[in-house]
Amino acid sequence: MIRISTLFMALVAVVTTVPVQAADKRYPVSSVTRIEIVEPSSATAWENKDFLDCSDVILTEEDVRYALQHIRRVSRKSYFSEYTERTGCSGGASVTFKNGKIIVIGIEPTGRINLFEVDEKLEPTKAPERFYECQPCKDRKMALLKDALDRADERRLRKLEAQGKIPPGEAERRLKNLRASR
């Protein structure tokens, strides 16, 4: 009986220490020697300035490190699903590891991440492109983008007011409600 309770306690200890959002062991953040932000901010065809202006979304070295710690691999089908949340904004970086491996990583504020391995000339290797999601990354970045979202709401509502689609003063009232709800 003592063995079973000891085994059970050991199992509980292991389960509680394993993170829910595990990183990909091929790319340990502890082995990173250099991060170069190649593209701090870019817009895709999905960009919607009424929701978020991509110039407000800047990828940082800290974002890359955080992503490497929390990424969870997903299938290609899941990554490109029509139900996947997109902002149309992304940033890119190259990451060099102690073992000489180099990856290029693309990160969206929604936590969608793709990466592929490259050689010293930044030419893709034969390793397949990999797709990830990172809910902690999304939560963190969207919290940082609260001001940017507020500015986008203000632009959209002021435009509607100027076009006469909403009554004068209504934009200000809606802005207060939106900001209070975040």
pLDDT for residue 132: 96
Angle at 169 between CA 167 and CA 172, to 5 degrees: 125
Q: Which of the four pLDDT bands, split at 50, 70 and 90, describes residue 15?
A: very low
Q: Is 10 left (phi over 0), alpha (psi -120 to 50) or beta?
A: alpha
Tokens 């990828």, residue located? 59
The token duo for 34 is: 């250099």
Beta bridge partners of residue 167, listed in sequence order: none
CB–CB of 38/59 below 8 Å? Answer: no
pLDDT for residue 134: 95
- Predicted confidence (pLDDT) at residue 93 exceeds the cutoff of 60: yes
pLDDT for residue 116: 95
Indicate the pTM of the whole model. 0.71
Mean pLDDT calculated for residue range 7-19: 45
The token duo for 145 is: 């983008």
The model's pLDDT over 120-156, given as tens digits with 9 standing for 90+, comes to 988 999 999 999 999 999 998 888 778 777 888 888 8
